[in-house]
């Protein structure tokens, strides 16, 4: 029942390329042939195994044999997160229970969670993607990887854990929380890399500051592997400037695979997608028509080697574009822009479309502002009320009312220059705003729906 296995490329043991990375450099023509073969196999598998997919194909008059080229993927129906909830728990599963090795679930704020079944082959594909990301980031056997993503139903913890273990790293499975101990163990065990959400690493930075720990002087930390939530280039710059580590971007989602679907190389042109397993498209989110490489739209994935829950043309709601240029690193896997916004994160304020990442980018242009903020929306009978609470750094916070007012105006100007709106800026003392052990909630929307 496994997907078609193809041998990896021959690898020269004297080559600087890590053995796990050999497929990253597969020439484009063989890569496209491999993708088509795997796509055809997946469509046939899902058509035979997933009644909902088969019914939707029949409604379109599409059968597996109609997929003759990669462009024919546009003939297939889309899938989306509501499908996983509407047909909970396993309505989209393609594997039988005796073929299932593990379940992962993503909790929603309301209603049923989404539930993904994985065969052992699916787990190995996921691990391989994570290993390729870590190798691309520069991790090797002998690195000590602290996994501070949550373990359990969430894919982050186990995904980073098995990727690091497969690469030969020593794993410190701290999960989230108990931040004081996280900093202690980081120092005492010589941690060289940490995997967590960027917002939780900010909390670790706060705790290290409280303990008087300097990352450059007192730890061996060199790599931060951050994902599971949108974060801006400005946030990355802040983390690297204050800690001296290299902040890597890793991408994944429960519906497709956990962390390890894509990651950035040292050239930072974007994130390389392991498209020998995860076939990407960009569509117009309004018309649902495919867009050419280079145009911004909604990211859509088809898993072309997954048996347990094959996802075909899954709408991620993430906004990005696929690059047309070849990355200087030489990898042939296409590059997508970093995900700094999701279409379902968009806020409409006074009729203007605003993304939290735009606000974050504006705030972090002001050096005296800490990377901790909260957007609060409320409403009256006639208008929206829009305020941003933002922490001031310990060095800049004082009782000097004039200095704080000047800082408030600078923050307002920085945000207004990006979003074109004039929010109420509230400067608060360091340590005032909520922190999170996982994904942080940046937006409090109290408007009348």
The rounded Cα 108 to chain-centroid distance in angstroms is: 17
Is 318 in the same domain as 378?
no
Is 9 in the same domain as 158?
yes
Torsion region of 31: left, alpha or beta (phi above 0 gives left; psi -120 to 50 gives alpha): alpha
- Per-residue pLDDT at 379 exceeds 90: no
pLDDT at 341: 73
Name the domain count of the chain.
Answer: 2
Token representation of residue 91: 């309505």
| Residue 194 near residue 221 (C-beta atoms within 8 A) | yes
Is 338 in the same domain as 375?
no
CA angle (295, 296, 300) in 5-degree steps: 105
The residues facing 247 across adjacent strands are 224
Is 341 in the same domain as 401?
no
Q: What is the 3-state secondary structure (H, E, C) of the chain?
A: CCCCCCCCCCCCCCCCCCHHHHHHHCCHHHHHHHHHHHHHHHHHHHHHHCHHHHHHHHHHCCCHHHCCCHHHHHHCCCECHHHHHHCCCCCCCCCCHHHCCEEEEECCCCCCCEEEEECHHHHHHHHHHHHHHHHHHCCCCCCEEEECCCCCCCHHHHHHHHHHHHHCCEEECCCCCCHHHHHHHHHHCCCCEEEECHHHHHHHHHHHHHHCCCHHHHCCCCEEEECCCCCCHHHHHHHHHHHCCEEEEEEEECCCEEEEEEEECCCCCCEEECCCCEEEEEECCCCCCECCCCCCEEEEEEECCCCCCCCCCEEEEEEECECCCCCCCCCCCCEECCCCCEHHHCEEECCEEECHHHHHHHHCCCCCEEEEEEEEEEECCCCEEEEEEEEECCCCCCCCHHHHHHHHHHHHHHHHHHHCCCCEEEEECCCCCCCCCCCCCCEEECCCC
Token representation of residue 137: 């980031």
| Residue 343 near residue 296 (C-beta atoms within 8 A) | no
Q: Which domain holds residue 227?
A: 1-345
Which residues lie closer than 8 Å to 211 by C-beta, 6 or more apart? 180, 183
Q: What is the dihedral of CA 251, 34, 165, 273, to 10 degrees?
A: -20
pLDDT at 241: 96
Instruction: Tell me which residue of 4, 66, 45, 30 sits closest to 312, measured CA to CA.
Output: 45
Is 321 in the same domain as 191?
yes
Is 350 in the same domain as 336?
no
pLDDT class of 434 with cuts at 50, 70, 90: confident
Is 341 in the same domain as 379?
no
Is 372 in the same domain as 339?
no
User: 310: domain CATH number?
Assistant: 3.40.50.12780
- Final residue of a domain: which of 345, 379, 412? 345
Q: Give pLDDT tens digits for 271-297.
A: 999 999 999 999 999 999 999 999 999
Q: Give pLDDT tens digits for 85-142.
A: 999 999 999 988 999 999 999 865 556 889 999 999 999 999 999 999 999 999 999 9
- As a whole number, the mean pLDDT across the chain is 91
- Per-residue pLDDT at 305 exceeds 70: yes
Classify strands 114-118 and 102-106 as parallel, antiparallel or unpaired: antiparallel
- Per-residue pLDDT at 256 exceeds 80: yes
User: What's the Cα-to-Cα distance from 373 to each of 349, 360, 369, 387, rounded to whole Å?
Assistant: 18, 8, 9, 11
- Final residue of a domain: which of 319, 345, 371? 345
Max distance between CA atoms of the chain, in angstroms, equals: 73
pLDDT at 6: 41
pLDDT at 111: 67
Is 359 in the same domain as 303?
no
Is-cis flag, bond preceding 89, omega within 30?
yes
pLDDT at 199: 92
Q: Which residues of 51-80 are buried (b: 16+ CB within 10 A; e: fewer)?
A: eebbebbeeeebebeebeeeeebebbeebb
The rounded Cα 189 to chain-centroid distance in angstroms is: 28
Is 111 in the same domain as 143?
yes
Is 160 in the same domain as 30?
yes
User: 358: domain CATH number?
Assistant: 3.30.300.30
pLDDT at 343: 74
Is 335 in the same domain as 395?
no
The whole-number average pLDDT for the span 329-341 is 91
pTM: 0.86
- Final residue of a domain: which of 298, 319, 345? 345
């Amino acid at each position: 029942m496994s997907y078609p296995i193809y041998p990896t490329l021959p690898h020269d043991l004297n080559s600087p390329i890590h053995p796990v990375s050999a497929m990253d450099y597969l020439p484009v023509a063989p890569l496209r042939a491999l993708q088509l073969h795997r796509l055809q196999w997946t469509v046939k598998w899902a058509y035979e195994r997933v009644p909902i997919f088969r019914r939707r194909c029949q409604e379109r008059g599409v059968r597996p044999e109609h997929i003759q080229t990669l462009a024919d993927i546009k003939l297939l129906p889309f899938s989306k997160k509501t499908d996983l909830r509407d047909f909970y728990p396993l309505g989209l599963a393609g594997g039988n229970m005796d073929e299932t090795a593990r379940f992962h679930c993503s909790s929603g704020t309301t209603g049923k969670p989404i539930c993904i079944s994985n065969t052992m082959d699916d787990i190995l594909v996921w691990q391989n993607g994570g290993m390729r990301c870590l190798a691309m980031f520069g991790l090797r056997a002998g690195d000590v990887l602290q996994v501070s993503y949550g373990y359990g139903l969430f894919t982050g913890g186990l995904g980073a854990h098995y990727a690091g273990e497969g690469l030969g790293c020593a794993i410190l499975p701290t999960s989230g929380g108990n931040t004081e101990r996280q900093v202690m163990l980081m120092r005492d065990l010589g941690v060289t890399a940490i995997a967590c959400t960027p917002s939780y690493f900010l909390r670790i930075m706060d705790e290290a500051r409280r303990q008087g720990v300097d990352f450059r002087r007192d730890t061996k930390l060199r790599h931060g592997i951050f994902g599971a939530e949108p974060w801006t280039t400005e946030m990355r710059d802040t983390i690297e400037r204050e800690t001296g580590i290299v902040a890597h971007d890793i991408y994944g989602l429960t519906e497709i695979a956990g962390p390890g679907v894509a990651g950035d190389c040292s050239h930072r042109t974007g994130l390389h997608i392991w498209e020998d397993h995860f076939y990407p498209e960009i569509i117009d989110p309004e018309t649902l028509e495919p867009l050419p490489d280079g145009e911004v739209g909604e990211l859509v994935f088809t898993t072309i080697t997954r048996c347990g829950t094959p996802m075909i043309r899954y709408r991620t709601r993430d906004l990005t574009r696929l690059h047309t240029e070849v990355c200087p690193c030489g990898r042939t896997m296409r590059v997508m822009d970093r995900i700094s916004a999701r279409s379902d994160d968009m806020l409409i304020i006074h009729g203007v479309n605003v993304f939290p990442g735009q606000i974050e980018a504006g705030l972090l242009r002001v050096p005296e502002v800490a990377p901790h903020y909260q957007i609060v929306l409320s409403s009256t009978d006639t208008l929206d009320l829009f305020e941003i609470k933002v922490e001031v750094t310990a060095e800049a916070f004082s009782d000097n009312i004039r200095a704080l007012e000047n800082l408030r105006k600078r923050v307002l100007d920085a945000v207004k220059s990006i979003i074109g709106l004039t929010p109420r800026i509230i400067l608060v003392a360091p340590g005032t705003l909520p922190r999170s052990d996982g994904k942080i909630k940046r937006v409090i929307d109290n408007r009348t729906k």
